[in-house]
Amino acid sequence: MNFHVPVIQYAEVLPILIVLGAAVLGVLVEAFIPRSLRYVFQVVISLGSILLAFVAVVRLHGTSHVAVEGSVVVDGPTLFLQGTLLLLAIGGVLLIAERGLDTGGSAFTAHAATLPGSEAERTALASGIIQTEVFPLTLFALGGMLLFPAAGDLVTMFVALEVLSLPLYLMSGLARRRRLLSQEAALKYFLLGAFSSAFFLYGSALIYGYAGTVSLSGIREAISSNAGNDLVLLMGVALVTVGLLFKVSAVPFHAWTPDVYQGAPTPVTAFMAACTKVAAFGAILRLFYVGLSGLRWDWRPMLSGVAIVTMVLGVIWALTQTDMKRMLAYSSIAHAGFILTGVVAVNKAGLEGSLFYLAAYGFTTIGAFAIVTLVRDSTGEATHLSQWSGLARRSPLVASTFALFLLAYAGIPLTSGFVAKFAVFAAAYSSGSSALVIVGVLSSAIAAFFYIRVIVLMFFAEPKEDGPTVVVPPIMTTAAITLAASVTLVLGVMPSSVLDLIKSAARFTF
Amino acid sequence: MIHQSAIVTADLLGKDPGWLIIVKTLLVFVFLVIMVLLSIWGERRVVARMQMRLGPNRVGPFGLLQGLADGIKLALKEDIVPKAADRIVFILAPIISATTCFMAFAVIPMTGQVSLLGRKTAFQLTDLSVGVLYILSIASVGVYGIVLAGWSSGSTYPLLGALRSSAQVISYEVAMGLSLVAVFLYAGSMSTSDIVASQDKWWYVVVLFPSFVIYTISMVGETNRAPFDLAEAEGELVGGFHTEYSSLKFALFFLAEYVNILTVSALATTLFLGGYRALPGLGFTERWLGGWFTFVWFLAKLLAFLFFFIWLRGTLPRLRYDQFMKFGWKVLIPISLVWTLIVSTLRALSLRGAPTAVIVGFTGGVVLILLVVGSLFEAAKRKEQEALSSVITKPSHFAVPQLPMSISTHRVPSAPSRSMEATDE
Amino acid sequence: MNTLALSAGLTGAPEAVLFWILAPLIVLAAIGMILVKKAVHSALLLAYIMISLAIFYIAQDAPFLGVVQIVVYTGAVMMLFLFILMLVGVDSADSLVETIRGQRVVALLAGLSLGALLIGALGRSLLGAGIAGGAVGLDQANSGGNVQGLATLLFSRYVWAFEVVSALLITAALGAMVLGHRERPVPRRTQRQLSEDRFREGSELPGAPLPSPGVFSRHNAVDIPALLPDGSPAPTSVSRVIKARGDVLPTAPFELNKESQGEQK
């Protein structure tokens, strides 16, 4: 048997290698560096590796190549999404590294292995230790996210899905306060996530049964030559789609989202909400635009339906929420629907619109959750909506920044959200799905209502007597919020440079 | 890299007609049962000699039939199923133990090419391309017997014994599996007959001595034998997982334990001692008796391992459980991993045709690193010990328990309300 | 897919016999797994299903997959399951009250319809015209040996996925440590240190272990305190548990008689 020595283009997978390598380094730091120094080491390694990886991505720009025996595709969308993910991750890591907010020192538990409320937990809290394993976990998740939209075959895609999910399951359970809620969230996320992975895997097997290959280009060829039995293919596509839609939390696979967003430590929620959505939509775009583009007449109605349901139900549920984190969770569900309208366009405009939307949505989300970490009372974050009333009187700057993010979510002109929504709706309209556009615009209007309701609450309601305080944001959170706010504004006011970048990048290689 | 003679073995076995397979199955079964009876006798005799006793010498010549007599006695005892037991599983457990242990022997090559009932074949039931992994997998199913026995007894000691024992087996299986990797790398195959065939020049005990040592240690751990017989540490757990078993069901566990010893010994023989091959320089003996003489070599090596097991039992005290687990996870497994890395590098170098100087240089480098790391470790340990000993101060007074000088002369009060008969014995 | 290959006459007789013996049992075990009351029985049936599947794999010329299935799933994963079930003791007594009413029915219906859809799709595609040559490429894939074929694929075409899995494994190990490893605030005292402490303290019997129940006593039951050489009961000799339960017998009748002691001297 001839063994073909695999060719690995190290330069082209360098961003992924840097991030995963730094994660392994982080694990070694946990093992060998004394506890007092770990935090500094971990923060430096995490931020440094992300910046390095970003440089590597920038240096790769213009590459269009199928690397590592077909497992990794380095092309415009991949590089754009990887760059976006890395920038978002900087914001995420800054929030995770923040130690100036919580009186206990950090948003993360002192010792995850101790039972909530036990004597051991009190000892751990008193000793002032804080789990720093969250940094390597973040990097592992990020590594999986970088690979997810770049995967050139279903096997790699599945592995990337797992690599990005597993650390997130863990990180959701590490909250310092309301630990039982956090652990419940982690368990729910883990169980449902495992189910969805199984769906993805089963679907991949069926697609393999149809095409005889797992590579996306191979599947594309098999579909165009009509190789086998369509029923198997359709079942496979349906199951794979379930796995992917779960990750972007589209209805009806959204059930985990509110609980997990609420239970997880808020910095983790920020990182997870922004980055997972970007990575998972990247994978969806590649799968449907490259592998299954020949089958579009079959999957477009299905995805359109999901998009409509997701938008409508997302905004309606969001209307009824009284908790800030849950409201943002439902709004993220609704946004998954908006992005899907771009995906189902199946043309270049759709791809461009979706990419832009992902970038815009990601930064706004990081910023919004960062602000949620700032509004606190004695028990930690004050997330009940009523507690936010009159916030502008206490801290006009924080309230206005939050208002900016909410306006961006709502898609008000001069924010990134407007350009993004316009882009995806225009793409959907140009591809002839006007029904989708109508539903999208209507749901945007409803969404705008509840976003603006919060703004009204903050600016025009009387503050409560015993309401929460707004902490003056410490340096790292400030940096993250500044990053998010400036990107939101820049993408809203002068989106042309980014739109040009996307225009040149939005071409899949296979 | 597939060896010529191996293809012959696989082909030979492939041509076996159905009746021959049945005959061989029976032969393997009978061989194992007889070996078990003899090894029980042998163990008692050898341990007795080591303890300056005679051992069983009444039943049959030299007491040879002692095992049989014990077996019959066991079978005639009352079969008890405890009230709290989970009946089905309680009965199932010994059956699992006893069947799996026999299955593993199917891939052990016991002779080279021989003629059996007029057909050219080899005394090996079947040859799988993943033979050694097959044995590992059967062993891992065998653990179920132990775990289920402990759980289904519905009693605490057996449960604890079973958990101990299965944790032990699983832990040592990791080290064992890792020690086998080096053999696979050198033999270029996972089939038992290929591995024996590839040892025509050098036995792997010479080439891969660290692997052999790791395997030997973990095989003792894997079979729950002294000094690793923590699962049935009498002082702590009564009889371990089989505390509640009696009669034939207990006999099945007993049988399984000894067959397992035979299996791991036979595997050690196959992997490291050249299996049925003759000692170096005596290769001509392999053709004696139409090839059947190879069986003698196999048996001799097997018996050597059996003696080793008995010797260990007669010599070493039992380990403490935490020390034992620590040894497995923190010593054996890391060493196996490092060794596997070294071996695969060496193997890659030699297969790529690297010059001898490179190979020697690499080996020298590795030895040097090991020496440095080892001495650093030693130094750290010594420092720790010194720090410890500096803390220890002399005890305040002479530390010997005071002897109860006058206790025996006390008059004992009359018995209280509670019955005391039992204590008077 | 085995059935279909069988019905198409694609497999040899021994394999067919094996299949028709094992397949009904596997299905029964699968149904039983859901229906049995005890969690351990359920786990056992699952293990049985896994082993039977492994046998199918081996019968279909995938020996490596079959053996690895047993070693990894049956030997390690299911065993850990059993550990948990036995130690924690999950049983049917646990509350199974639905918190959302009717969800079980809905889930059942949805599950059944998905299953029917899958079976229908697979069945139609394979039993219908689709079967044309059945499984193809097996001989080609196994031409250099099953293990070698797998290794070639894993280390060339899929080497990237294979390597990235290591990130997953490291994450899993790290996660297990984070969630499960409880660091001691102070290092555990070793046996040696404990014994040294005992000597330094100079307890009742310096250096010796605690007296066991019944030592020097009239009675050797665990609930009877030992007597010290001077005839008084040793407070440490009865297990704390028994004391807490209040099962200790009155010690007075067992104590050495002070008067008789006096007489003796």
* Three-class DSSP labels, chain C: CHHHHHHCCCCCHHHHHHHHHHHHHHHHHHHHHHHCCCHHHHHHHHHHHHHHHHHHHHHCCCHHHHHHHHHHHHHHHHHHHHHHHHHHCCCCCCCCCCCCCCHHHHHHHHHHHHHHHHHHHHHHHHHCHHHCCCCCCHHHHCCCCHHHHHHHHHHCCCHHHHHHHHHHHHHHHHHHHHHHCCCCCCCCCCHHHHHHHHHHHCCCCCCCCCCCCCCCCCCCCCCCCCECCCCCECHHHCCHHHHHHCCCCCCHHHCCCHHHHHHHC
CA A67 to chain CA centroid, nearest Å: 25
Count CB-CB contacts under 10 A for residue A368.
Answer: 28
CB contact under 8 A, A144 and C167: yes
- pLDDT per residue as tens digits for the range B207-240: 888 899 999 999 988 888 878 887 776 667 777 7
The residue assigned the tokens 């319809």 is C113
To probe the interface with C, which of A147, A235, A298 has the most C CB atoms within 10 Å?
Answer: A235
CB contact under 8 A, A229 and C164: no
Q: Which of C52, C74, C93 is the last residue of a domain?
A: C93
Please give the Cα distance from A369 to A325 (Å, whole number).
Answer: 8
State whether residue C80 sits within 8 Å of chain A by CB.
no
Min distance A43 CA to chain C CA atoms (Å): 18
Q: Do chains B and A touch (3 or more CB pairs under 8 A)?
A: no
User: Of the segments B106-120, B382-396, C150-164, which one has the largest average pLDDT value?
Assistant: C150-164
- pLDDT per residue as tens digits for the range A104-151: 778 888 888 888 888 888 888 887 778 889 999 999 999 999 999 999
State whether residue C178 sits within 8 Å of chain A by CB.
yes
Query: C-chain residues within 8 Å CB-CB of B395?
Result: 199-200, 202, 206
Please give the Cα distance from C218 to B256 (Å, whole number).
Answer: 44
Please give the Cα distance from A268 to A2 (Å, whole number).
Answer: 47
Q: Do chains C and A touch (3 or more CB pairs under 8 A)?
A: yes
Min distance A388 CA to chain C CA atoms (Å): 31
Q: How many structural domains compose chain C?
A: 3
State whether residue A109 sits within 8 Å of chain C by CB.
no
Same domain, C217 and C178: no
Identify the closest residue of chain A to C180 by CA–CA distance.
A113
Inter-chain Cβ pairs, chain A and chain C, closer than 8 A: 123
CB contact under 8 A, C87 and B163: yes
Q: Which domain holds residue C154?
A: 144-182
Please give the Cα distance from B6 to B197 (Å, whole number).
Answer: 6
Residue type, B168: Q
Q: Give chain A's length.
A: 510
Predicted model pTM:
0.86
For residue C202, being part of any structural domain is answered with: no
Q: Give chain B's length.
A: 425
Q: Which residues, including other chains, have CB under 8 Å from residue B241's CB and lie 6 or more apart?
A: B146, B147, B149, B150, B153, B158, B161, B162, B165, B231, B232, B253
Residue type, A169: Y
Same domain, C161 and C218: no
CB contact under 8 A, A1 and C175: no
**E strands, A23-113, where?**
65-67, 72-74
Which of A354-368, B104-118, C230-244 has the weakest average pLDDT? C230-244
Identify the closest residue of chain B to C84 by CA–CA distance.
B163
Inter-chain Cβ pairs, chain B and chain C, closer than 8 A: 133
CB contact under 8 A, C68 and B133: yes
Query: C-chain residues within 8 Å CB-CB of A68?
Result: 159-160
Please give the Cα distance from A273 to A96 (Å, whole number).
Answer: 14
Token readout for B327 is 């040894």
Cα torsion C69, C74, C75, C78: sign: positive
**Greatest alpha-carbon span in chain B:** 90
Neighbours of chain A (3+ CB pairs under 8 A): C
Q: What is the CATH number of the domain that holds C68?
A: 1.20.120.1200
Token readout for B171 is 């832990």
State whether residue C172 sits within 8 Å of chain A by CB.
yes
Q: Is the pLDDT of residue B54 over 50?
A: yes
Q: Which residues, including other chains, have CB under 8 Å from residue A443's CB and lie 6 or more apart?
A: A311, A312, A314, A315, A334, A337, A338
For residue C105, being part of any structural domain is answered with: no
Token readout for A327 is 């409201």
- pLDDT per residue as tens digits for the range B16-34: 777 888 888 898 899 999 9
For residue C200, being part of any structural domain is answered with: no
Same domain, C160 and C227: no
Same domain, C164 and C236: no
Using only the alpha carbons of chain B, give its radius of gyration: 26
Q: Is the pLDDT of residue C205 over 80?
A: no
Same domain, C8 and C78: yes
* Three-class DSSP labels, A481-502: HHHHHHHHHHHHHCCHHHHHHH
State whether residue A419 sits within 8 Å of chain C by CB.
no
Please give the Cα distance from A281 to A341 (Å, whole number).
Answer: 12
Min distance B416 CA to chain C CA atoms (Å): 6
Min distance B420 CA to chain C CA atoms (Å): 7
Query: C-chain residues within 8 Å CB-CB of B404?
Result: 216, 229
Identify the closest residue of chain A to C148 by CA–CA distance.
A1
State whether residue A172 sits within 8 Å of chain C by CB.
no
For residue C133, being part of any structural domain is answered with: no
Residue of C70, C206, C253 with shortest CB distance to B416: C253
DSSP letter (8 states) at residue A287: I
For residue C102, being part of any structural domain is answered with: no
Query: C-chain residues within 8 Å CB-CB of A160?
Result: 164
State whether residue A198 sits within 8 Å of chain C by CB.
no
Helices A76-97 and A35-59 cross at an angle (nearest 10°) of 160
Among the listed residues A359, A223, A339, A365, the one whose alpha carbon sits nearest the alpha carbon of residue A285: A339
Residue type, B43: E
Predicted local distance difference test score (pLDDT) of residue C28? 94
Q: Is the pLDDT of residue C208 over 90?
A: no
State whether residue A11 sits within 8 Å of chain C by CB.
no
Predicted local distance difference test score (pLDDT) of residue A382? 87
CB contact under 8 A, C264 and B411: yes
For residue C83, being part of any structural domain is answered with: yes
- The confidence band for C215, taking pLDDT boundaries of 50, 70 and 90, is low
SS3 of A108, please?
A: strand
State whether residue C115 sits within 8 Å of chain A by CB.
no
User: Interface pTM (ipTM) of the complex?
Assistant: 0.92
* Three-class DSSP labels, A310-349: HHHHHHHHHHCCCEHHHHHHHHHHHHHHHHHHHHCCCCHH
Residue of B141, B400, B412 with shortest CB distance to C218: B412
Using only the alpha carbons of chain C, give its radius of gyration: 33
CA A325 to chain CA centroid, nearest Å: 15
Same domain, C7 and C89: yes
pLDDT by residue for chain A (510 residues), tens only, comes to 577 888 899 999 999 999 999 999 999 999 888 888 999 999 999 999 999 999 999 999 888 989 888 899 999 999 999 999 999 999 999 999 988 887 777 888 888 888 888 888 888 888 777 888 999 999 999 999 999 999 999 999 999 999 999 999 999 999 888 889 999 999 999 999 999 999 999 999 989 988 888 999 999 999 988 767 788 888 899 999 999 999 999 988 999 999 999 999 999 999 999 999 999 999 999 999 999 988 888 899 999 999 999 999 999 999 999 999 999 999 999 999 999 999 998 889 999 999 999 999 999 999 999 999 998 888 888 888 888 888 888 889 999 999 999 999 999 988 999 999 999 999 999 988 889 999 999 999 999 998 999 999 999 988 887 778 888 888 999 999 999 999 999 999 999 999 999 999 888 888
For residue C201, being part of any structural domain is answered with: no
For residue C67, being part of any structural domain is answered with: yes
